[in-house]
Amino acid sequence: MTTIPDPPSLIATLPGSFYTDPEIFRREQERLFESMWFCAVRCSDLDGPGAFRTVRVGRESVLVVRDRGGRLRAFLNVCRHRGARLCLEESGEVRRSLQCPYHAWTYDLDGRLIAAPHLGRMPDIDRTAQGLVPVELREWLGYAWLCLADEPPSFEETVVGAAVERLGDAAAIERYRVEDLALGRRVTYDVKANWKLIVENFMECYHCGTIHPELVDVLPEFATGYAAQYYVGHGAAFGEDVKGFTVDGSEGFARLPEVGEDQDRRYYAVTVKPTVFVNLVPDHVILHRMFPLAEDRTVVECDWLYAPDVVESGADLTKSVELFHRVNVQDFEACERTQPSMASRAYRSGGVLVPTEHHISHFHTWLTGRLGGSGT
Ligand code: FES
Ligand code: FE
């Protein structure tokens, strides 16, 4: 009789260099952030024609603007004349066109070159060909997702598919109508850690009992350290005495209208690789977008989204926002505590994952596959 040995309790993490090596970060920029769909902007932040925002996608600056027809468009933030950056501001509003401050080449909001000094004396210029370089844009969950790849991967498979894989079907996330929710609060965290430490942390709950007392009070099953959120379709149940997803378990707001009984009093977490976390609770949605800026620095924009009538009523969101804000601060402190050790000789060949963290190794396999090898 043959016996199948139990899998080992401890399996390897990535080596420390994956979190510190600028060359690995450069490959991640090229093969992940500049190749996959990247969640960039909340569409409602650009509320009228001419409203724009600039975002870093991999090594590029991208300009997202609402055109006069109300459509969102994205362009590389580079003047086609001699390459000056068109917009230096993070956000703003132009009246009718985008004008380069260097020699005043002027572009329509659809990207076409419409004016330039002495343009009339250059009749051979093709104004469309000399227009801004467009970037693919899709809207989903009320966000503009951008892709810099010449041939973008299937949005349905790689983005929507992540939610389907986690929740069991697409309807489960659609019921929250995230695209119709209003922004209640936004907090931007400047985290001195590699983006993968933040992803790995989000994927496990081994740390919940140690660093998230408030979260564990609301979601008692998190105290066990088992990442229940990773069983397909499972949402962590609120504790019996808990009235809402708030910092002290007090009442939240009314359940979002299409969220069903089966999703009530439950928390679902979805990771959309490479840089997005979606957290679903009955009365609001919390969405994290990461902007990896360097191998040891990641800006995280976190939005708390509520039914529009809740935000319009001026209701006090403090207790609702405070729960996940504390979770964020606790998580990011842990990541920042970990980052410097990635360069230590003690971590040269990495650390270990315990059984409740083993699923993180799928992320590592996916990552090293995309980067084309596990070494530097
Ligand atoms: Fe923009 Fe010359 S570089 S107008
Ligand atoms: Fe955490």
Residue nearest to atom 4 of ligand 1 (CA): 103
Does a structural domain hold residue 69? yes
- Relative to the CA of 79, which ligand 1 atom is closest? 1
pLDDT reported for residue 1: 62
Under a CB-based contact definition with an 8 Å cutoff, are residues 291 and 304 in contact? Answer: no
Substitution candidate for ligand 1 out of 88, 103, 107 with most atoms within 8 A of CB = 103
CA 190 to chain centre: 14
Tell me the per-residue pLDDT of 161-193, one tens digit each, with 9 for 90 and over. 998 888 888 888 999 999 999 999 999 999 999
Does a structural domain hold residue 146? no
Q: What's the number of domains the chain is made of?
A: 2
Tell me the per-residue pLDDT of 149-162, one tens digit each, with 9 for 90 and over. 999 999 999 999 99
Q: What CATH number is attached to the domain comprising 354?
A: 3.90.380.10
Tell me the per-residue pLDDT of 281-292, one tens digit each, with 9 for 90 and over. 999 999 999 999
Same domain, 202 and 300: yes
pTM of the model: 0.95
Under a CB-based contact definition with an 8 Å cutoff, are residues 64 and 53 in contact? Answer: yes
Supply the DSSP string of 21-71, one letter for each residue: -HHHHHHHIIIIITTS-EEEEEGGGS-STTEEEEEEETTEEEEEEE-TTS-
pLDDT reported for residue 219: 94
- Closest ligand relative to 84 C-alpha: 1
Does 253 have pLDDT greater than 70? yes
Residue nearest to atom 2 of ligand 1 (CA): 103
Q: What CATH number is attached to the domain comprising 71?
A: 2.102.10.10
Supply the DSSP string of 229-246, one letter for each residue: GGSTT--EEPPTT--SSS
Tell me the per-residue pLDDT of 194-226, one tens digit each, with 9 for 90 and over. 999 999 999 999 999 999 999 999 999 998 877
The domain boundary residue, chosen from 136, 161, 184: 136
Binding site membership of 358 for ligand 1 (Cβ less than 6 Å): no
User: What is the rounded average pLDDT for all residues in the chain?
Assistant: 94
Same domain, 125 and 244: no
Same domain, 72 and 192: no
Under a CB-based contact definition with an 8 Å cutoff, are residues 331 and 302 in contact? Answer: no
pLDDT reported for residue 374: 41
Nearest to 191 by CA among 334, 342, 59: 334
Under a CB-based contact definition with an 8 Å cutoff, are residues 112 and 98 in contact? Answer: no
Does a structural domain hold residue 2? no
Binding site membership of 68 for ligand 1 (Cβ less than 6 Å): no
Residue nearest to atom 3 of ligand 1 (CA): 82
Q: How many whole angstroms from 42 Cα to the centroid of ligand 1?
A: 29
Structural domain that includes position 352: 170-371
